[in-house]
């Protein structure tokens, strides 16, 4: 059995796709399969995928009509044969020892989920978006949520998951909505028994202002509200109660003050620059 199936939804990513694929085919863990789902790209993405597949037989390309990242990820899960699976967005990249470290930690503890840190690149500046300081193993659901910083950071791509556990629990992505990773992540951390954190390795996330999530629309605003409410209801239904509120104060359409209540903390941001933790 292949150790890890890597699922990559691809839609019009020609500018970033080569960097993404280079980071995956050159992983220090060689025993992986790479499932690329071309979601109806209209640029040169499919040509780039075919060029890589010609040189690396671990790559499988699946073509579908444009249906969104949820449908692409679900298609990847359906076709995966690995012991674990992971997700990479086509405009991001991973450290070269990313899957080796996550897989080794997961096997060491027989964990259902392994999670690592996130670095974000914005305006040519790096920032630790999630930093894992040490290896920790837990089966406590609340601790899993804290270690992954949920609900603030419901990302699917800085983790690997036991494929069989996802299938047994029928966990997949709701199609046709944005921010679908919120509910997926909540279900994973509640239904999958164990998690291990993995320090000193990172998923590299580039803030692409032209990405599907970053471009604004009424549907995205509605879906953001819908997925957050659905996620919080799911957690509440499983007796997990988290305070997570954000208040914004605007002047002439610009936010000058933001107050975030999160768990037992309060964060105040003035002009999105000065941050005070209370």
Q: What is the pLDDT of residues 237-256, one digit of tens each?
A: 999 987 666 767 787 777 86
- Identify whether 231 is part of a domain: no
Q: Is residue 106 part of a domain?
A: yes
Residue 85 clears pLDDT 60, i.e. is over it? yes
Indicate if 60 and 137 belong to the same structural domain. yes
Q: Which two tokens stand for residue 193?
A: 């028994």
- pTM of the model as a whole: 0.87
Q: How far is Cα 72 from Cα 67, in angstroms, rounded to an integer?
A: 7
Beta strands in 11-58 (DSSP E): 32-39
Number of domains in the chain: 2
In a domain, 23, yes or no: yes
Q: What percent of the chain has pLDDT over 90?
A: 78
Q: What is the pLDDT of residues 195-219, one digit of tens each?
A: 999 999 999 998 754 555 556 789 9
Of the residues 206, 233, 261, the one at which a domain ends: 206
Structural domain boundaries enclosing 16: 4-206
Q: Is residue 220 part of a domain?
A: no
Tell me the pLDDT of the chain averaged across its residues: 91
Q: What is the mean pLDDT of residues 142-158?
A: 94
Query: Distance between CA 44 and CA 197 in Å, rounded?
Result: 37
Q: Which of 150, 184, 206 is the last residue of a domain?
A: 206
Q: Let me know if residue 226 belongs to a domain.
A: no
User: Residue by residue, what is the 3-state secondary structure of 227-266?
Assistant: HHHHHHHHHHHCCCCCCEEEEEEEECCEEEEEEEEECCEE
Taking residues 166-193, report their average pLDDT. 97
């Amino acid at each position: 059995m292949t150790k890890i199936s890597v699922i990559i939804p691809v839609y019009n990513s020609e500018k970033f796709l080569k960097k993404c694929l280079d980071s995956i085919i050159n992983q220090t863990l060689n025993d992986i399969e790479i499932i690329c789902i071309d979601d109806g790209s209209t640029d040169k993405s499919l040509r780039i995928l075919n060029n890589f597949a010609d040189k690396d037989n671990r790559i499988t390309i699946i073509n579908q009509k444009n249906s969104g990242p949820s449908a692409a990820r679900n298609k990847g899960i359906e076709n995966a044969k690995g012991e674990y699976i992971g997700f990479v967005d086509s405009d991001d990249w991973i450290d070269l020892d990313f899957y080796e470290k996550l897989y080794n930690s997961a096997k060491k503890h027989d964990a259902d989920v392994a999670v690592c840190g996130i670095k974000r690149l914005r305006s040519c500046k790096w920032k630790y978006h999630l930093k894992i300081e040490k290896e920790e193993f837990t089966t406590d659901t609340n601790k899993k949520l804290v270690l992954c910083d949920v609900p603030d950071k419901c990302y699917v791509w800085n983790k690997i998951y036991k494929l069989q556990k996802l299938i047994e629990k029928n966990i997949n992505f709701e199609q046709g909505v944005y921010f679908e990773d919120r509910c997926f992540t909540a279900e994973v951390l509640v239904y999958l028994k164990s998690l291990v954190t993995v320090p000193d390795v990172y998923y590299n996330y580039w803030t692409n202002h032209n990405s599907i999530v970053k471009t604004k629309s009424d549907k995205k605003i509605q879906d953001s509200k819908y997925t957050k409410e659905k996620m919080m209801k799911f957690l509440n239904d499983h007796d997990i109660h988290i305070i997570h509120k954000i208040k914004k104060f605007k002047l002439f359409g610009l936010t000058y003050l933001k107050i975030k209540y999160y768990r037992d903390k309060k964060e105040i941001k003035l002009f999105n620059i000065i941050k005070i933790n209370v």
